[in-house]
């Protein structure tokens, strides 16, 4: 449970106005009051530079910058003021390759369309209640991609050495 959400600020980015209305209605139902919205990913970048946004919810496929490109800009652009903002990607494209691309771009959570209130709330609660540490390596900056934290993890995505990355704090 995420608790009282009335004090968080959310930016909704989708080029489909109907999807913005759906997401806004869900967010208001969760108690979120401060909702910024735009259909333009370029304008969304400007909003993240000018406003204290706590969570970004954006569509995968958009004109100008898609969700992956937007995420990369937020995470790595020199003038990005909120590189650690949680980003929840909404997508109807859930092929493994696209989910991996989103993860590798620095997306925090992926929420499948058609979005349900339960799934969106679960993703918001996850980024609030269980924030993942951010890591920086030579080829990646974003939330720790590993979901397994045990020292005995031997999966394909296991790091060769913890010295390969730096953990980044919000300071």
**Facing residues of 10 across strands?**
35, 55
**Position 143 in a domain:** no
| pLDDT at residue 9, as a whole number | 98
**Position 53 in a domain:** yes
| pLDDT at residue 146, as a whole number | 74
| pLDDT at residue 171, as a whole number | 46
* Residue 113 domain boundaries: 9-134
State the CB neighbour count (10 A cutoff) for residue 156. 4
| pLDDT at residue 64, as a whole number | 85
**Position 153 in a domain:** no
What is the per-residue pLDDT across 21-67, written as a single tens digit (0 to 9) for each? 999 999 999 999 999 999 999 999 999 999 999 999 999 999 888 99
C-alpha distance from residue 116 to each of 27, 46, 111 (Å):
11, 28, 9
- Tell me the CATH number at 75: 3.40.50.2300
Residues 159/140, Cβ–Cβ less than 8 Å: no
CA distance 112 to 90: 6
DSSP assigned state of 1: -
**Peptide bond preceding 33 in cis form (omega within 30 of 0):** no
CA distance 6 to 86: 17
What is the per-residue pLDDT across 117-156, written as a single tens digit (0 to 9) for each? 999 999 999 999 999 999 998 888 999 977 655 566 666 6
Residues 144/169, Cβ–Cβ less than 8 Å: no
**Position 35 in a domain:** yes
**Position 57 in a domain:** yes
Q: Model-level pTM?
A: 0.86
**Position 157 in a domain:** no
**Position 169 in a domain:** no
With a pLDDT cut of 90, the percent of the chain lying above it is 76
What is the per-residue pLDDT across 60-99, written as a single tens digit (0 to 9) for each? 999 888 999 999 999 999 999 999 999 999 999 999 999 9
Domain count, the chain: 1
**Position 142 in a domain:** no
């Amino acid at each position: 449970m995420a608790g009282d959400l009335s004090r968080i600020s959310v930016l909704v980015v989708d080029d489909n106005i109907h999807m913005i209305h759906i997401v806004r209605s869900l967010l208001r139902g969760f108690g979120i009051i401060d909702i910024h919205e735009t259909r333009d990913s370029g304008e969304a970048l400007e909003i993240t530079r000018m406003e204290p946004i706590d969570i970004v919810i954006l569509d995968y496929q958009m004109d100008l910058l898609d969700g992956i490109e937007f995420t990369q800009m937020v995470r790595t652009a020199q003038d990005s003021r909120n590189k650690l903002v949680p980003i929840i990607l909404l997508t109807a494209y859930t092929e493994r390759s696209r989910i991996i691309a989103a993860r590798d771009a620095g997306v925090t959570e992926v929420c499948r369309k058609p979005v349900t209130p339960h799934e969106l709330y679960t993703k918001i609660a996850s980024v609030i209640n269980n924030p993942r540490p951010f890591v920086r390596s030579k080829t990646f900056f974003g939330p720790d991609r590993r979901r397994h934290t045990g020292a005995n993890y031997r999966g394909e995505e296991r790091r060769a050495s913890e010295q390969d990355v730096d953990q980044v704090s919000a300071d």
